[in-house]
Amino acid sequence: MMARIVGGRKSHYLRWPWMISLRRYEGKAFKHKCGATLLNQLWAITAAHCVDGKMPNEVVLRLGEYNFHRMDESHPHVERRIYMIVIHPQFDAVTYENDLALLRFYEPVSLRANIVPICLPKPLDDVAGRMAVVTGWGRLAEEGELPGSLHEVSMPILTNKECEEMYSAAGYVETIRDVFVCAGLLNGGLDACEGDSGGPMVVRGTRGQWKLVGLISWGMGCAAPKQPGVYTRITKFVDWIDDIISL
Ligand code: ARG
């Protein structure tokens, strides 16, 4: 089977309009490094490990993008420079606990077909057992190629206990604290991969709206059996996020 994001497929244009490409200056150009997600006209969210140690002027966000190599999309992308990076004060660069950061633009974006913010969940939403969608421009397989267009994959959200049990069956002793949420299959095959970090894991709400429940944080390899992807659990941070983005 042809692997995508890993195990997913190319997204439809305009389907995930909160998806952002986070680009860092490297060599002589800004290059895609991570995913990020639009929260409102001035703020985006990403993984702390994507921006840790970076100055705001080393990062550019590309909104409304779909295929990096095409200039003829019906709704052009927009870029925003960063005015302020707010890394979660308890981010731990060793364990990746509290792996989230908020990015404030210099100039607000106006919303349109390809630029729409995501909803936040309620702090008590329990998502175990639900199907999640994960999107990104990351590798299509471990050590695999980088796609030009946005990819998506759906997979079930696990309980933290199921996640720990899978890792321990694979020979890893991992304590998956409640600041994380895992997703994937026992036999692997569906996952995020390098270059997807910081991007969204979303679930569909009862009224059809999509909600941000995770940020792609870490994994061991990509899509390996008994090694589910591990995500920052957004429900744990909704109050912190709201306090900052309502400033
Ligand atoms: N940390 C990696 C990145 O910077 C991706 C982590 C997700 N990996 C996974 N197997 N789910 O892009």
The predicted-structure confidence for 157-193, as pLDDT tens digits, reads as follows: 999 999 999 999 999 999 999 999 999 999 999 999 9
Q: Is the CB of 36 under 6 A from ligand 1?
A: no
The predicted-structure confidence for 105-135, as pLDDT tens digits, reads as follows: 999 999 999 999 999 999 999 999 999 999 9
Q: Is the CB of 193 under 6 A from ligand 1?
A: yes
Q: Is the pLDDT of residue 142 over 80?
A: yes
* Same domain membership, residue 104 and residue 123: no
* Same domain membership, residue 37 and residue 109: yes
The predicted-structure confidence for 83-109, as pLDDT tens digits, reads as follows: 999 999 999 999 999 999 999 999 999
Rounded to the nearest whole angstrom, what is the distance from the C-alpha of residue 138 to the centroid of ligand 1? 8
Residue 71's CATH number = 2.40.10.10
The predicted-structure confidence for 182-237, as pLDDT tens digits, reads as follows: 999 999 999 999 999 999 999 999 899 999 999 999 999 999 999 999 999 999 99
Hey, how many other C-beta atoms are within 10 angstroms of the C-beta on 159?
A: 15
Q: Is the pLDDT of residue 247 over 80?
A: no
Which residues have C-beta within 8 Å of that of residue 49, sequence separation ≥ 6? Answer: 91, 93, 96, 99, 197, 198, 217
* Same domain membership, residue 210 and residue 136: yes
The predicted-structure confidence for 12-35, as pLDDT tens digits, reads as follows: 999 999 999 999 998 889 999 999
How far, in Å, CA of 91 to CA of 97, rounded?
Answer: 6
Q: How confident is the model at residue 41 (pLDDT cuts 50, 70, 90)?
A: very high
Predicted local confidence at residue 4, as pLDDT = 54
Domain that holds residue 141: 3-12+118-235
* Same domain membership, residue 104 and residue 39: yes
Cα separations (Å) of 65 from 7, 20, 172, 211, 219? 22, 7, 37, 20, 26
* Same domain membership, residue 156 and residue 95: no
Q: How confident is the model at residue 5 (pLDDT cuts 50, 70, 90)?
A: confident
99 catalytic per annotation: yes
Find the catalytic residue in 99, 151, 191, 196. 99
* Same domain membership, residue 226 and residue 123: yes
Q: How confident is the model at residue 70 (pLDDT cuts 50, 70, 90)?
A: very high
* Same domain membership, residue 112 and residue 101: yes
* Same domain membership, residue 226 and residue 131: yes
* Same domain membership, residue 144 and residue 29: no
The number of residues making up the chain comes to 247
* Same domain membership, residue 135 and residue 82: no
Predicted local confidence at residue 2, as pLDDT = 40
Q: How many domains are contained in the chain?
A: 2
Q: Is the CB of 99 under 6 A from ligand 1?
A: no
Q: Is the CB of 194 under 6 A from ligand 1?
A: yes
Atom of ligand 1 nearest to the CA of 229: 11
Q: Are 244 and 86 in contact (CB under 8 A)?
A: yes
* Same domain membership, residue 217 and residue 124: yes
Q: Is the CB of 196 under 6 A from ligand 1?
A: yes
151 catalytic per annotation: no
Q: Is the CB of 197 under 6 A from ligand 1?
A: yes
* Same domain membership, residue 84 and residue 174: no
Using most ligand atoms within 8 A of CB, pick from 5, 96, 174, 196 the residue to mutate for ligand 1. Answer: 196
Predicted local confidence at residue 120, as pLDDT = 98
Atom of ligand 1 nearest to the CA of 138: 12
197 catalytic per annotation: yes
Q: Is the pLDDT of residue 67 over 60?
A: yes
